[in-house]
């Protein structure tokens, strides 16, 4: 195929599919093994410094924050991150000094809440290196290519733009139509962290609501830690197999963490904790504020249960449940105004 253009972005997490197949055959057991463990053990066993990390969920939706805090607590360093609409997770990890490099589809923003003070500061000072740009669908299809065991997927986005120029994609002439087509390279994250509604002790997992990219991500990542709101039995899984999104042989560790997505939203269970996110957005305006935040909510608490107490305990968590069920209005404390409609 004729190569018409090569993106100059760094190629992150690409592997020859044969190399990955060999790795999978050697390292991913098909045995039904009880994989339950603590967040601390899961992170210490399956996340190494320098890993290419991808988080499940989307923005402030169904993000495994329990593991994000554990990465910070265990002082993982030099992580390279998939910025695939990585918002709160990447902001906190970058601020905590865990991430050195990122490939950006959407990062540095909290959607309607505004931009991320801490991770923008890191990018603008050069402390964080943006090694490639891509689009959301582009990242999604990098995972799809990985999941399919292919070297790349042809796509029709990014063409003609600087996003492609700074990506790791290539443009070739499609041998069927003769038109230029973009090829996004497969991505094989070293580790993915995904929060789910329910799973059994082997890792068979169910997700309610949108899947975002987690079907593909769970299948292309080498190591996968699943955190779950609830443990269910293998019989429950086998009774409704159509509900299984992630089968056990993809999963390396199962961590039961109720409210493990806090302060992000867990569909049907609890809304995002906008008060807590506003506190982060306000404190993270300075490096000192970041230090205080991490001391209060990560280093100063032994585990996620203690963190939940620190953010307001059962009263707050019940309130988030009521907001998610439309029984109580949502709040937007980050949108403070002076009464004249001005920020």
Partner 1 sequence: MSERPEYTPTELLAVVASRMLSDNQSVFVGTGLPLIAGMLAQRTHAPGLLLFFEAGSIGPRVPELPISVGDSRTYHQAIALSSMHDAMSLAQAGYVDVGFLGAAQIDPFGNINTTVIGSHQHPTARLPGSGGANDVASFAAKTIVILRQSARSFVPKLDFLTTPGYLDGPGARERAGLPAGTGPYRVITQLATYGFDPHSRRMTAASLHPGVTPERIRENSGFTIPLGENLPVSPVPSAEEIRLLREVIDPKGVVLSK
**Would you say 171 and 9 are in contact if contact means Cβ atoms under 8 Å apart?**
no
Q: Does 149 bind partner 1 (CB under 8 A)?
A: no
Q: Does 106 bind partner 1 (CB under 8 A)?
A: yes
DSSP for residue 36: B
**Would you say 89 and 212 are in contact if contact means Cβ atoms under 8 Å apart?**
no
> Six-digit token pair at 70?
């554990």
Stretch that binds partner 1, among 99-107, 246-254, 279-287, 306-314 (CB under 8 A): 99-107
Q: Which of 32, 148, 211, 310 binds partner 1 (CB under 8 A)?
A: 211
Comparing CB distances to partner 1, the nearer of 31 and 112 is 112
**Would you say 200 and 234 are in contact if contact means Cβ atoms under 8 Å apart?**
yes
* Contact residues for 336 (Cβ-Cβ < 8 A; gap 6+): 343
Q: Which of 104, 145, 261, 281 binds partner 1 (CB under 8 A)?
A: 104
Residues of span 173-192 touching partner 1 by CB under 8 A: 174, 179-182
Q: Are strands 170-173 and 191-199 parallel, antiparallel or unpaired?
A: unpaired
Total chain residues near partner 1 (CB under 8 A) = 69
Burial of 288 (0-12, 13-18, 19+ CB in 10 A): exposed
Comparing CB distances to partner 1, the nearer of 202 and 271 is 271
The end-to-end CA distance of the chain, in Å, is 54
Q: Does 321 bind partner 1 (CB under 8 A)?
A: no
Q: Which of 85, 168, 206, 284 binds partner 1 (CB under 8 A)?
A: 85
Q: Which of 18, 34, 127, 209 binds partner 1 (CB under 8 A)?
A: 209
- CB atoms inside a 10 Å sphere around CB 112: 8
Bridge partners, 82 (sequence order): 103
For residue 103, the SS3 value is strand
Burial of 111 (0-12, 13-18, 19+ CB in 10 A): exposed
Residues of span 19-78 touching partner 1 by CB under 8 A: 57-61
Q: Does 155 bind partner 1 (CB under 8 A)?
A: yes
Residues of span 252-281 touching partner 1 by CB under 8 A: 265, 267-268, 271-272, 274
Stretch that binds partner 1, among 48-56, 66-74, 218-226, 331-339 (CB under 8 A): 331-339
Give the integer Cα–Cα distance in Å for 237 and 254. 15
Q: How many CA atoms lie within 13 A of 310 on its CB side?
A: 18
Q: Which of 137, 305, 310, 317 binds partner 1 (CB under 8 A)?
A: 137
Per-residue contact track with partner 1, 107 to 136, x per CB under 8 A? Answer: xxx-xxx-x----x--xx-x---x--xxxx
- Binding residues vs partner 1 (CB under 8 A): 57-61, 83, 85, 104-109, 111-113, 115, 120, 123-124, 126, 130, 133-138, 140-141, 144, 155-163, 166, 171, 174, 179-182, 209-216, 265, 267-268, 271-272, 274, 324, 326, 330, 332, 335, 337, 341, 343
């Amino acid at each position: 195929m004729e190569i018409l253009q090569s993106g100059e972005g760094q190629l992150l997490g690409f592997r020859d599919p044969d190399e990955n197949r060999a790795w999978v055959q050697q390292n991913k057991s098909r045995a039904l093994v009880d994989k339950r463990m603590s967040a601390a053990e899961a992170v210490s066993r399956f996340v190494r410094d320098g890993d290419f990390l991808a988080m499940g969920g989307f923005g402030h939706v169904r993000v495994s924050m329990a593991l994000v805090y554990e990465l910070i607590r265990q002082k993982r360093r030099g992580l390279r991150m998939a910025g695939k609409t990585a918002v709160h997770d990447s902001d906190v990890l970058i601020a905590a000094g865990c991430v050195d490099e990122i490939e950006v589809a959407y990062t540095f923003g909290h959607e309607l809440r505004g931009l991320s003070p801490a991770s923008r500061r890191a990018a603008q000072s050069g402390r964080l290196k943006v090694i490639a740009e891509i689009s959301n669908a582009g990242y999604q299809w990098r995972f799809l290519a990985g999941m399919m065991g292919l070297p790349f997927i042809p796509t029709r986005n990014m063409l003609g733009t600087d996003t492609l120029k700074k990506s790791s994609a290539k443009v070739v002439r499609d041998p069927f139509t003769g038109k230029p087509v973009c090829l996004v390279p497969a991505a094989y994250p070293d580790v993915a962290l995904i929060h789910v509604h329910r799973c059994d002790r082997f890792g068979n997992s169910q997700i309610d609501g949108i899947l975002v990219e987690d079907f593909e991500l769970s299948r292309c990542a080498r190591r996968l830690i699943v955190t779950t709101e609830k443990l269910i039995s293998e019989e429950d899984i086998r009774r409704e197999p159509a509900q299984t999104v992630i089968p056990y042989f993809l999963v390396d560790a199962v961590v039961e963490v109720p409210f493990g997505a806090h302060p992000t939203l867990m569909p049907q269970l609890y809304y995002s904790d906008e008060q807590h996110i506003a506190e982060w957005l306000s404190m993270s305006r300075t490096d000192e504020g970041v230090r205080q935040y991490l001391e209060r909510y990560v280093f100063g608490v032994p585990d996620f249960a203690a963190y939940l107490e620190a953010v307001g305990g059962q009263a707050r968590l019940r309130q988030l449940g009521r907001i998610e069920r439309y029984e109580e209005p949502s709040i937007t404390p980050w949108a403070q105004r002076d009464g004249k409609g001005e920020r």
